[in-house]
Amino acid sequence: MAIILSDNVLEIIKFQQDCYKNFKNTFLVPHTAYSTRAALMKQLSEIKSKRALRQDEAQVIDQISTLEALLKRKDQSADNRINPRRPYFAFFSFSEKGVTKNYFLGDSTYRFGDQQILHWRDSPISRLFFYYGVEEDFAEELAGRVREGIILKRYFLRFAKGELVNIVFDNQQLLFDGQDWNIKLLAPRFQKSKIAFSSNPNKVLMSLRVLLGMKTEHKNFQPRLNLLLNLKQYQTVISPINQVVLAFGTAGSGKTTMSLHRLVWLSQENPALFNLGQMAIFTSRKSIAHYLDSILAGIDAKSHPQAYVVKDYLSDLLYYTFAKHFRVNPDNYTLISATRVKKSNELKDALDLFLRVQINNLSAQLANIRQSLAIDDADDNKMLKLIKELSKLGFLKALVKIANITNYKSPSNYSVTNMQRLKRVLNSCIGDQEMETNEGSILFRAWDLFFSDFSMLEEVIRKIEHISSIGGAEQTIKWFKNNYLHCQDQIIAKFLSSPEEISSSEKIPSHNPLDEDDAAILLYMHRQLGGELKLRGKNISFCSILIDEGQDLSLLEISLLSSLAKQPRNLMISGDLHQQTTNQTGIAHLDQLKSLFKEQKLITNHLSTSYRATKQIMQFGIDLLADNTESASIAMPTKVGPPVKLWQFNLRGAMCTHLYETLKLLSESTTQYSVALLCLNEDIAQNIYNELSYFQLADLRLVLNEAFSFKPGIDVTTIEDAKGLEFDYVFIFDVNSLDFPKSRYMKHLLYTGVTRACFELILYSLNEFSDIIPENHKKLALAG
């Protein structure tokens, strides 16, 4: 039974069919009168000579315009810039000052009749299609002037075998089955508005400001939140305020941008509980922190969330919590394997066990003293009151009080017997005391005791496969012994003494075992032992915390950061388990994270659709992870682009020349583009930059230590530094077996680099490509 379509729908179909027919008649049909470019040029020359004689001026000008248009079409056809099978993929119209204007979007700019195709990437006015929905007012500065109006129509179009077969508009889809048109209602989706999930801070900031100006009720919030691309993202943003939210998904699914809108929504939903100025965002990447700062500062200059790099924040927190006693050194001198141990889940398990034993030991000894006092020394009420008080204090506070009482410099009214009892408690927990004791020194003694137990460390190291498998276990154990055996002699005496007693030359001992990873361990121990964390004299407590790129942090770090949130805890952790840029034990699967929040309500949302990369790029990424069962959960994007290219060279000079020629053509075709030349490490990036510098390319930048400018141009950097960002074009270098040996880590590292690309991806290799490249792609490699 044929479906009866409304007059409005039939009008949409007829208009689009007529436009396509007009396009075919003016461009796709061969012009027999001027079949060759030479013939056209000859005719144009003759016409121009007539104009020089000023004969029939108006007619000559018209003929010249026609011939020049034919030449342009001929050239475009020769360059394959217009794809006759898919000349455009979208249509939109808007009203400006009472005038209606229609435009199509395609892969090139071209005019046919009264209609015009715009290049979706190069034409500024195409922003109106991507940033606004139907019946939305717009005001944008385009091509040097402000344009204001309202969007009237917005369609997606698809062609097959020279016929229009699909039109999508609002929540409807028109399908042509070869004979009739049918209509299908789509699931409600929130159309993209003034936001694209990208690394352009201005777009994100615009949508956040829109949200801040809206009413707070859900019924009013939902229509205004049309910047989100699907229902799952919207549901994640409005998750209940007293729940921990895990938002993990594929690259380019909008996790970071969605998380920012979660914070803004909280501030609107319950202003009394959630103040923007009391929120924190933690990330492992400096580049992402800089990107977030550029957005957050624009929300409200006086009160907005702060973005922190985790390792920098924890180092500062350690420094200020303990009155500037603790200082950490960069981990340049720490073995990579030792860093992996400190970030491993196994070390957290061992540390939790150690802390439980210490706390239980203190509690048991205080209970024994209390029992003995009640039986043998019942008249000593002062000592009994002290033990009751100590039992209520945390581990650190209790030991500090005992240390202050038993310190030989401090007079005490307790009996010798009771003083001896207290000293035994102190010694059993942190060893013999011969100096003034405070929370910092007690914590450091506990830390030293933990790392001095080499049998425990060895057991932890043996469990970490990627250390022991390469024969690094013995070397790692030896490193820990050399760094921790003499801590008390060289650290306790100088490093934890009163700052006034330390000369400037002695503040950091020559042999300082503390590095950046120890900051998290010390702070975690301090928190678990009942201590309060402070920053510049103030206790730390955030109303809401967002942890971005959570898969790169250890469970210990995530547990520590989440403890900084007020109760009821409001926490959101986002990330992508497929992206790994550090060869260490981070978060391998979500069950590990869920184990941290057993006592709290938990919501887990998986975002599977990528809105960044093209279908070709994501398919290449999925093929890289073919042996990973979770790769099946990645949804294929609908955006199409050029195929992924693999170029294989024998000489580095030839590779750099080819790269220069490619970049030059790219720079000539558009002025607004972002390119990333991604390398395995900084040394390779420096070499690539030096070699390209000879060609004097415009806007060529060497980006080290994640110092991105977020401006159009060419950034030479590492895969790790580019994590979390996106670029129009991505080139990845030296993807050979030597630099990218076949391993799970290398697959995930390369996947991270691949998914930085929005439109085009090119891989280079000297000699054979690495075995981590799937065979079906290696067969298509081009010889340079």
Average pLDDT, integer, range 507-529: 76
Predicted local distance difference test score (pLDDT) of residue 379: 54
Average pLDDT, integer, range 14-22: 87
Q: How many other C-beta atoms are found inside a 10 Å radius of the C-beta of residue 149? A: 20
Nearest alpha carbon to residue 347 among 561, 595, 518 = 518
Predicted local distance difference test score (pLDDT) of residue 147: 84
- How far apart are the C-alpha atoms of 682 and 214, rounded to whole Å? 46
Predicted local distance difference test score (pLDDT) of residue 437: 72
- How far apart are the C-alpha atoms of 282 and 563, rounded to whole Å? 13
The secondary structure of 454-509 as a DSSP string is HHHHHHHHHH-HHHHTTT-HHHHHHHHHHHHTTHIIIIIHHHTS-GGGS-GGGSS-
Residue 428 has pLDDT above 60, yes or no: yes
Predicted local distance difference test score (pLDDT) of residue 750: 93
On whether the CB atoms of residues 265 and 238 are closer than 8 A, the answer is yes
- How far apart are the C-alpha atoms of 697 and 660, rounded to whole Å? 8
Higher-scoring residue by pLDDT: 175, 219: 175
For residue 280, the cross-strand partners are: 306, 545
At 637-683, the pLDDT tens digits run 777 888 999 999 988 888 888 898 888 887 766 666 789 999 999 99
On average, the pLDDT of the chain sits at 78
Predicted local distance difference test score (pLDDT) of residue 569: 80
Average pLDDT, integer, range 751-776: 91
pLDDT band at 409 (very low <50, low <70, confident <90, very high): low
Higher-scoring residue by pLDDT: 709, 206: 709
At 374-388, the pLDDT tens digits run 766 555 678 888 888
User: What CA dihedral angle connects 424, 430, 435 and 437, to 10 degrees?
Assistant: -100
- How far apart are the C-alpha atoms of 184 and 174, rounded to whole Å? 6
Higher-scoring residue by pLDDT: 303, 266: 266
What is the token pair recorded at 160? 């097959």
Residue 769 has pLDDT above 90, yes or no: yes
Higher-scoring residue by pLDDT: 580, 263: 263
On whether the CB atoms of residues 118 and 124 are closer than 8 A, the answer is no
Residue 104 has pLDDT above 60, yes or no: yes
Contacts from 597-602 at CB under 8 Å and sequence distance 24+?
597/244, 597/562, 600/243, 600/244, 600/569, 601/240, 601/242, 601/243, 601/244, 602/243, 602/244, 602/245, 602/246
Predicted local distance difference test score (pLDDT) of residue 334: 75
What is the token pair recorded at 216? 């707070």
| Residue 442, SS3 per DSSP | helix
Percent of the chain with pLDDT over 90: 16
Average pLDDT, integer, range 48-58: 53
Of the spans 221-230, 402-411, 449-458, which averages the highest pLDDT?
449-458
Average pLDDT, integer, range 624-641: 69
Q: What is the pTM of this model?
A: 0.70
On whether the CB atoms of residues 310 and 318 are closer than 8 A, the answer is no
Residue 573 has pLDDT above 70, yes or no: yes
Higher-scoring residue by pLDDT: 668, 542: 542
Average pLDDT, integer, range 22-41: 59
Give me the residue label for tokens 């920053």: 535
Listed in sequence order, the residues at least 6 apart from 120 whose beta carbon sits closer than 8 Å to its beta carbon are: 89, 90, 105, 106, 107, 126, 129
pLDDT band at 354 (very low <50, low <70, confident <90, very high): very high
Residue 366 has pLDDT above 80, yes or no: yes
Bridge pairing between strands 645-649 and 782-783: parallel
Average pLDDT, integer, range 615-626: 88
